[in-house]
Amino acid sequence: MNNPMLVGHLTTGRTGPIQGNPVLDRNKQTGSDSISFREVLSREQLKFSHHAEQRLQQRGIELLPEQISRIASAVDQAAAKGARDSLVLFHDIAMIVNVPNRTVVTAMDGSSMKEHIFTQIDSAVVVS
Structural domain boundaries, residue 103: 46-127
d(CA 98, CA 76): 11
The pLDDT tens digits of the residues spanning 87-107 come to 999 999 999 999 999 999 999
**Residue 9, in any domain of the structure:** no
**Residue 33, in any domain of the structure:** no
Domain count, the chain: 1
121 CB-side CA count, 13 A: 18
Residue 27 has pLDDT above 50, yes or no: no
**Residue 13, in any domain of the structure:** no
pLDDT of residue 8: 46
**Residue 17, in any domain of the structure:** no
**Residue 105, in any domain of the structure:** yes
pLDDT of residue 91: 92
User: What is the pTM for the complete model shown?
Assistant: 0.64
